[in-house]
Amino acid sequence: MNWGTKIVISFVCFVGLLVTMVYVSVSTDFYLVADNYYEQELDYESQIQRMKNVNSLAEKPNFKLVRNEGKAELRFPVSVMKAMEEGKISFFRSANASLDKEFDLVFDETGLQTFDMNMLASGAWKVKIEWKSKGTEYYQELNIVI
């Protein structure tokens, strides 16, 4: 095989590599962190205030994973729970928006709500807890790995 043939083979391999890279990059799905990220960015100052409101509570909500039972527990202090007007919890997956889950906060009489973790894919999740109590809004964000 002479050097001209080697150059042609190298050129064909290079073009094949470029075509493959273009195909892979065009067919890859990219998910935005949020659909309305611009509006959320403009509202970030009020989000910071909601986070400060949680930090000012004497008793804070407690979220924990119970891995051996495949569940998560969200426990609110009874005093905070009784004053709550509305609330929701979101399980946010930044890698794939179609996996996101959202639930209303509905507690038993002790302030406990449980979630089945088997419904969530393994990986990194962001748990967002939002509620309103006595006209004041609260927001807490946690990172978990399932």
Worst-scoring range by mean pLDDT, 16-30, 31-45, 62-76?
Answer: 31-45
Predicted local confidence at residue 34, as pLDDT: 62
Asked if CATH classification 2.60.120.10 holds for the domain at 37-145, the reply, yes or no, is no
DSSP string, 93-143: -TT-GGG-EEEE----TTSEEEEEGGGS-SSEEEEEEEEEETTEEEEEEEE
Nearest by Cα to 62 from 49, 75, 45: 75
Query: Using CA atoms, how far apart are residues 94 and 114, in angstroms rounded to an integer?
Result: 23
Residue 77 has pLDDT above 80, yes or no: yes
Residue 40 has pLDDT above 80, yes or no: no
Q: What is the pTM of this model?
A: 0.70
Q: What is the pLDDT of residues 18-28, one digit of tens each?
A: 999 999 988 87
